[in-house]
Structure 1
Amino acid sequence: MPRSRTHLQVIGNEATATPSATPSRRARAAADATPANMTERIVESITTAIVERRLMPGTKLAEQKIADIFQVSRTIVRQALNQLSRDHLVVLEQARGAFVAMPSVDEARQVFQVRAMLETALIRHLCTCITDAQVVQLREHLRAEREAVKRTDVPGRTHLLADFHVVLARMSGNEVLAQVLADLLSRSSLISLMYQSSHSAEHSQDEHVQIVDALEQRDARAAARLMERHIHSVESNLHFDPRTPDLASVLR
Structure 2
Amino acid sequence: MGNRSDEIARLVTRAIIGKRLWPGSKLSEQTLADVFDVSRAVVRQAIIRLSDDGLVVIERNRGAFVSRPSYREAVEIYDALTMLEQGVAAQLSGRLDAHGWNELRHHVALQHKAVENKNEELADQLGSGFHEVLVKMSRNSVVQEMHAKLIRRTALLRTLISSRFDYCGLLNDHSKLVDLLEDGQVTAAQELIDEHHRNVVRGYILDEKLEPKMNVREALEPFIDGLGSERRAAE
Tell me whether the two structures share a fold, i.e. TM-score over 0.5.
Answer: yes
Partner of 2:3: 37
Could you say what secondary structure the match of 2:162 adopts? coil
**Quick check: 1:231 aligned with 2:202?**
no
Partner of 2:179: 213
1:46 aligned partner, one-letter code? V
| Cα separation, 2, equivalents of 1:63 and 1:201 | 40
**Quick check: 1:177 aligned with 2:143?**
yes
2:3 aligned partner, one-letter code? N
| Cα separation, 2, equivalents of 1:37 and 1:202 | 42
Q: What TM-score, normalized by structure 2, do the two folds share? A: 0.74
2:100 aligned partner, one-letter code? Q
Query: 1:39–1:201: structure 2 CA closer, same or farther, 3 Å change rule?
Result: farther
Shift of 1:54: 4.0
| Cα separation, 2, equivalents of 1:201 and 1:48 | 24
Could you say what secondary structure the match of 1:229 adopts? helix
**Quick check: 1:56 aligned with 2:28?**
no
**Quick check: 1:167 aligned with 2:167?**
no
Query: 1:217–1:147: structure 2 CA closer, same or farther, 3 Å change rule?
Result: same
| Cα separation, 2, equivalents of 1:145 and 1:45 | 27
Residues 203-243 of structure 1, C-alpha deviation per residue, up to 9 Å, x if partnerless?
A: 4333222222323333323322221111010112223799x
Partner of 1:92: 58
Shift of 1:82: 0.7
> Which shifted more, 211-220 or 61-70?
61-70
Query: 1:86–1:203: structure 2 CA closer, same or farther, 3 Å change rule?
Result: same
Q: 2:85 aligns with which of 116, 119, 123?
A: 119
Shift of 1:65: 4.1
Greater relative contact order: 1 or 2 (C-alpha under 8 angstroms, separation 6 or more)?
A: 2
Residues 168-198 of structure 1, C-alpha deviation per residue, up to 9 Å, x if partnerless?
A: 1221121111111111122223334435332
| Cα separation, 1, equivalents of 2:118 and 2:107 | 16
How many matched pairs? Answer: 207
| Cα separation, 1, equivalents of 2:199 and 2:120 | 22
Could you say what secondary structure the match of 2:205 adopts? coil
Q: Determine if contact 1:51/1:159 at 8 Å carries over to the other structure.
A: no
Shift of 1:68: 4.4
| Cα separation, 1, equivalents of 2:93 and 2:74 | 28
> Which shifted more, 141-150 or 79-88?
141-150
Q: Determine if contact 2:94/2:183 at 8 Å carries over to the other structure.
A: no
Q: What TM-score, normalized by structure 1, do the two folds share? A: 0.70
Q: Determine if contact 2:6/2:49 at 8 Å carries over to the other structure.
A: no
Structure 1 unaligned segments of length 5 or more: list them: 1-34, 243-252
**Quick check: 1:109 aligned with 2:75?**
yes
> Which shifted more, 82-91 or 232-241?
232-241
> Which shifted more, 209-218 or 81-90?
209-218
> Which shifted more, 170-179 or 70-79?
70-79
Query: 1:70–1:241: structure 2 CA closer, same or farther, 3 Å change rule?
Result: closer
- Alignment RMSD: 2.8
Share of identical aligned residues, percent?
A: 35
Structure 2 unaligned segments of length 5 or more: list them: 209-235
**Quick check: 1:191 aligned with 2:157?**
yes
